[in-house]
Structure 1
Amino acid sequence: MRQSSVIARRVAAASVGLVVAAGAVACGPKDNDGKGAGGDSTPHKGGTLTVLNSEPQQDFDPARLYTSGGGNVPSLVFRTLTTRNRENGAAGAKVVPDLATDTGRPNKDATVWTYTLKKGLTFEDGTPITSADIKYGIERSFAPELSGGAPYLRDWLVGAADYQGPYKDKKGLDAIGTPDSRTVVFHLNKPEGEFPYLATQTQFTPVPKAKDTGTKYEEHPVSSGPYKVVSNENDGERLILERNPHWSAATDAERKAYPDRIDVRSGLDSSVINQRLSASQGADAAAVTTDTNLGPAELAKVTGDSELASRVGTGHFGYTNYLAFNPTVKPFNDVRVRQAISYAIDRSSVVNAAGGSSLAEPATTFLPDQKSFGYTPYDLFPAGKTGNPDKAGALLKQAGYPGGLTITLTHSNSKDFETSPEIATAVQDALKKAGITVRLQGLEENDYKDRIHSVRTEPGLFLAHWGADWPSGGPFLAPIFDGRQIVKDGANFNTGLLNEKSVNDEIDAINKLTDLDAAARRWGALDRKIGEQALVVPLFHPVYKRLYGKDVKNIVISDWTGVLDISQVAVK
């Protein structure tokens, strides 16, 4: 996932000091007759859910959205071949069928994947959803004017590298076959055992060719989900969704669709969002946020109020914040220097700078602490809670720096805590104890991104972070450590410029596996192997704490997204 991703995504959902019950998820909706108040925990059908978000819901077109598992708001309108399992915690990190009858049927080497659509699928106007609609929806995502979605299809599909979409190439993609109205067949360049995860992306949303209006499609995309767009103001600043009368729960086991109406208001200040959810007055009593975290000061206030504390959802997402080394820049070309910094780091101070233990968890592995990623515990350079300056000093002496050394740490000046001056200062203080003087180089956000993502300008040491497009080690390790993904004339994410045949070969070998549990174990072993080279210093994994209104029920937070799933929410 792009490093700038918010989100948004290990443990079952819980409130601060209170586990949020979600046992009623499986119950069918009932008419909202007012019986939801006064302790009735059964989800009821009806009412209006308000979503208060800071990030605008722009480009509401399935071709342009960059989402995991169909996203959150988008997945109410756009169904895909597969989707995420809508359950709490680790169970929610599994991929399950959506429009398709299963998660896909691979050939022997996972280079061909076949899907069969369920019977009875229709668009919001009642017309049937066919395999041709799936194929067309994917093809239009290649159009330059509809760019913005996940890039995998261009790399994975046979003959797709130079395809420019159906507006310019009427022939379409031969790599996507539609032998009949319910069958879709994908032909890939190489084995991809994780294709079922990719099929959760919104590019796999069916789009009826006759209703495609190009760049204006986002104003009224044709719904395949439980809700349809009735209003889209100022490119997603306010989005009004109402029930799609042709959606059938019989074909959709994942979305509960309790509210009658969903009012999405975006572009709001984060402090305003938390104030409104805290007060929970009027329509805000039935409101949630999917992108606005509680800050340290806000969390302290909430924790001291039992009523507010009972309205906080806790989420974990596959995301790691780390120090990145460029081993072509001295002195980081010496592995002993990189190891010394790894030993010297004080994760307690870093966690405090990130908002404290409620908002950040210390990390010693690059892969997040989730089974689906293949998490394998290891700590190759034990620093304890506060660092090991003696071990670091001994390594520096071996490397020829008995009197210590001076280095530069590049970071962003953004308020985003992940790469903030506060994190950089915590690192600076820790390394000072080991005889390492750190000069801080703060850059404005755009300059920071441009510099760290260019092979020509990448600094020797900088703060970085990475999140996965789906809960697996593949999209976590490959972009950062696969040498074939080094981009010399564009945005590069292989910050350590690692191009080791054994690593590349193991990535290929794991990609052939369609047994995702077996693949996860291999990703975990590869994480440890790469970790021995000390190309990064894992710092922490973020934790998401988010308020919701007092009239909101049925809280489900999966390890796939780490945020409240509005497809499950009911309101009084």
Structure 2
Amino acid sequence: MGLTGLTACGGGGSDPESAAATTPQDGGTLRIIGSSDVEHLDTASSNSTGSYGLNRTYARTLFGTKASNDFSQTIPVQADVAARVPSKENGGISKDGKTYTVRLRKGVQWNTQPPRPVTAGDFVRGMKRLCNPASPSSGKGYYTSTLRGMDGFCHGYAKVNAKDAHAMAAYQQKHEISGIKAKGDDTLVFKLTRPASDFLNLLTLQFTAAAPKEYDKYVPDGPDFRQHTISDGPYQIVAYKPGSSYTLGRNPVWRQDGDPLRERHVEKIQLTLGQDSPAAVQAQLEQGAADLAWDQPVPTADIQRLRQARDDRFSIRDTPSNSPYLVFNTRSPAGGGALGKREVRQALEYAVDRTALIKIVGGPDVAEPLRTVIPPGNSGYNAATRYATQGEAGDPARCRQLLAQAGHPKGLTLKFPYRVNSVHKLIAESLKENLDACGVKATLIPDSGGSFYGSTLSDPAKAKSGAWDIAAPGWSPDWYGNNGRSIIQPLFDGRTYGPGSTNYGGYDNPQVNGLIDSALTASDPSRAAGYWHLADQKIMEDAAIVPLLDRSHPIFHSSRVRGALYLPTATGYDYTRLWLAH
């Protein structure tokens, strides 16, 4: 997000370390308000920052990361349900780096009637659910390219009837993934196709959460599933009204001594949706009518005021990301398949005025212009000057000239769906204005139903039919540290294109796919970073996307919130760690 030094800038907020001096008080209801429901609630397929923050309260993984207001503290892999972090030194990782043995800690339970322990088999089930045909994980490429037998298992699973929960459960029960084995109830053995220096990072992702046997009854992420989530974390969902609200209460079987990453202080978490105005959300937080924003950053208009006032409820937190970026639907029939031509996409790289976008999101304290796929602070980042324009303000004349050379002297007409929450509408309008100056008419289509990712961008049939041509999604890496694959692979590996994929534009270049493989098999993180950098250069040469901003996250909490610790991957505070002053 534009902060190469990765030190928190901004007005403080209740820092962990200062809050730690005060004893947390238990009780009260944490009130969170925002705009849209999650696109997926099922951990197998959920892949948004909002869903990650919510999943963390009731679904646990083998490993995880700690919330902290010091970015560097949020990077190391920590044990969660695993009893310890395996290494070659402690015998958890084999000498050749291809076998990982993970032992589970005792005392972690499901909130079932009666309660029962979370087992190694529950983690195997969770991994198998990643490639269910009803709501497949956009992150499954991480695992199919790493774990023995996962790719074949997923290919077979894709042929099962996506509406038949019984058929899906039967497939999972009858077919094994050779690279994931439960040895008894408390040990898991993972076998990799080749060493992967980031494998433990992959096991921190919510996709890999344990799944209880009860989930076999439901179509993954279907309406029935969403009403029957089961918890092994500190909270449980006690009421859910789709698109409207969530109520979380305490999970009676959770124990603090069995959970090194979470705590539990508030009695209840109330999440209320349907509030599309960032200004209205901010007003409620400042007045004390709500405590945290769900999916709305602090409105741009308020950032300067809060900074000048040194308001300790306000902070700008490090969240290195590519957010937003402009993606081209390379499969669209628009303009005779214009966006499938590299020369057309290269012309449009010159259209964008990044300075206008920086003003929209809050100024240079919050964002910097980005011209690479990989943002600063991530593995493989190197600054670049390709498509540079004077003062980052765009060059419409050059754009028109290149568009004419590419066979479109009269420009193009493109469909541009956009999200209505936060500043997305303003960003879309600014980009539309830039494209107009370049001779491209962008038709803006508001998406107020929360289907922007789940059913618009991630549906290849909609891409092929031309339901959309360009869009401005955002991407925060799934983890930080040794994380080149958490940006390049999910967004640009052409072999993972399909339903649920985050390679929204259907970009596919065999050279880039080959560089991904070279990075994944590199002997150490620094060699991998070199390959990720080469892949970034190639993707930008192909103009698969227009990177726009490297953004930090302006965040605010109410006066009664204490001990707020930041999770960069959730772009929010950890709900399980904070407490309320009564």
TM-score when scaled to structure 2?
0.76
Show the 5 A alignment for 1:112-511: 112-124=99-111, 127-140=116-129, 150-152=139-141, 155-156=144-145, 157-161=150-154, 162-163=156-157, 165-175=168-178, 176-187=180-191, 192-209=196-213, 214=218, 216=224, 218-229=226-237, 231-235=238-242, 237-271=244-278, 272-281=280-289, 284=290, 287-299=291-303, 302=306, 306-307=310-311, 310-312=313-315, 314-324=317-327, 341-343=348-350, 345-354=352-361, 356-357=363-364, 360-371=367-378, 373-387=379-393, 389=395, 392=398, 396=402, 406-408=411-413, 410-412=415-417, 414-415=419-420, 417-418=423-424, 420-428=427-435, 432=437, 436-443=438-445, 445=447, 449=457, 456-457=464-465, 462-468=470-476, 470-471=478-479, 472-486=483-497, 493=503, 495=505, 497-501=507-511, 503-511=512-520
Show the 5 A alignment for 1:32-71: 41-56=22-37, 60-63=41-44, 65-66=46-47, 71=52
1:508 Cα deviation (Å)? 0.6
Show the counterpart of 1:82: 63
1:166 aligned counterpart, secondary structure? helix
Distance 1:189 1:481, change over 3 A: same
Partners of 1:68 and 1:201 within 8 A in 2: no
Partners of 2:38 and 2:50 within 8 A in 1: no
Q: Is 247-256 or 107-116 further displaced after alignment?
A: 107-116
Show the counterpart of 2:89: none
Distance 1:169 1:249, change over 3 A: closer
1:257 Cα deviation (Å)? 2.2
Task: State how far apart, in whole Å, the 2-side matches of 1:109 and 1:51 are.
Answer: 47
1:262 aligned counterpart, secondary structure? strand
The residue type equivalent to 2:416 in the other structure is H
Task: State how far apart, in whole Å, the 2-side matches of 1:333 and 1:51 are.
Answer: 42
2:548 aligned counterpart, secondary structure? strand
Show the counterpart of 1:36: none
Distance 1:500 1:296, change over 3 A: same
Distance 1:115 1:438, change over 3 A: same
Partners of 2:61 and 2:205 within 8 A in 1: yes
Identity of aligned residues (%): 23
1:133 aligned counterpart, secondary structure? helix
Task: State how far apart, in whole Å, the 1-side matches of 2:212 and 2:319 are.
Answer: 36
TM-score when scaled to structure 1?
0.77
The residue type equivalent to 2:119 in the other structure is T
Task: State how far apart, in whole Å, the 2-side matches of 1:499 and 1:486 are.
Answer: 12
2:260 aligned counterpart, secondary structure? coil
Could you tell me which runs of 5 or more consecutive residues in structure 1 were left unpaired when the two chains were aligned.
1-9, 28-39
1:461 Cα deviation (Å)? 7.2
1:523 Cα deviation (Å)? 1.8
Task: State how far apart, in whole Å, the 1-side matches of 2:501 and 2:215 are.
Answer: 35
Task: State how far apart, in whole Å, the 2-side matches of 1:506 and 1:147 are.
Answer: 25
Report Cα offsets for 1:125-182 as digits up to 9, x if no partner: 6533221222234445555567667544884515322235434553342433112222
The residue type equivalent to 1:424 in the other structure is L
Report Cα offsets for 1:25-73 as digits up to 9, x if no partner: 7x5xxxxxxxxxxxx7554444432222333368755445445798212
1:550 maps to 2:559: yes
Distance 1:427 1:409, change over 3 A: farther
Partners of 2:50 and 2:294 within 8 A in 1: no
1:99 Cα deviation (Å)? 0.9
Partners of 1:315 and 1:557 within 8 A in 2: no
Report Cα offsets for 1:426-450 as digits up to 9, x if no partner: 4236xx4xxx433333345479748
Distance 1:537 1:166, change over 3 A: closer
